[in-house]
Amino acid sequence: MSENLKGKVALITGSTRGIGRAIAISMAEAGCNIVISSRRQDACDDLAAEINAQSDHVSALACAANIAEKEDLRRLTDATLQKWGRIDILICNAATNPYYGTMSGISDDAFRTILSNNILSNHWLVQFARPGMVEQRDGVIIVVSSIGGLRGSSVIGAYNISKAADMQLVRNLAMELGPYGIRVNCLAPGLIKTDFSKAIWNDAEKRRQHESLTPLRRIGEPADIAGAALFLASPASRFLTGQTIVVDGGATIVGL
């Protein structure tokens, strides 16, 4: 699989920690040139330097961008094209959830922020990357969603709505871009050991309860999602598009 990714260019948002970082490192190990992006330039610089120090065969570009700002995403795309002339793999990983509570209590501003950062930003980035992919008649787009998009919730409802919308965004894009040889798929992680979900896995009782209800009896690691991303980015998945791949240790198959 990795042999088929050598020399490819992969742009990954939210790639300085957690799932995004694991994906970036795995893609670099597979031979991809990497664009590291998050809100902090120093964090981007640190990971790019780490990747560049580990290999003479790949290169990492650090480019900070705020996914809430359309022009930041345009600049991110332009910087990638200026350095390498193309984008082969686009991974929309960055997302936010500034609110924890019921739908009746969420403010309009918080709801708009979630929808904008988790859906609209992905739409913007795809629109900036797609012309080059269409021209080369080849490309891979991966949106990192969540199993929350398949479930209801009384505390992260708005976040789940945004993640369900990402799944539909992927289906629409797969229809539009398939004729140009561009594949678009979605990853839906379950509980993964990242800062985003620390309130759950760092609580011994909550973690024990979750693991006891998960067929594989553990929570996920960022590397588990990186492996799935490598599969979707590679020719091994060349006949797969418009799909949401659930990576949750089996959590969503458990009945009452």
Q: Please list the active-site residues.
A: 159
Asked if 232 contacts 184 with a C-beta cutoff of 8 angstroms, the reply is no
Which residue is listed with tokens 């289906």? 171
Q: Which two tokens stand for residue 134?
A: 């269409």
Strand partners, 220: 192
Tell me phi and psi for residue 91, to 5 degrees.
-120, 110
- What residue type is 71 in one-letter code? E
Residue 46 burial class via C-beta count within 10 angstroms: exposed 0-12, middle 13-18, buried 19 and up: middle
**DSSP letters along 50-98, please?**
HHHHH-SS--EEE----TT-HHHHHHHHHHHHHHHS--SEEEE------
CA distance 122 to 116: 9
β-strand 139-144 against 89-92: which pairing, if any? Answer: parallel
Going by C-alpha positions, the residue among 250, 233, 254, 251 that lies closest to residue 3 is 233
Going by C-alpha positions, the residue among 107, 80, 102 that lies closest to residue 91 is 80
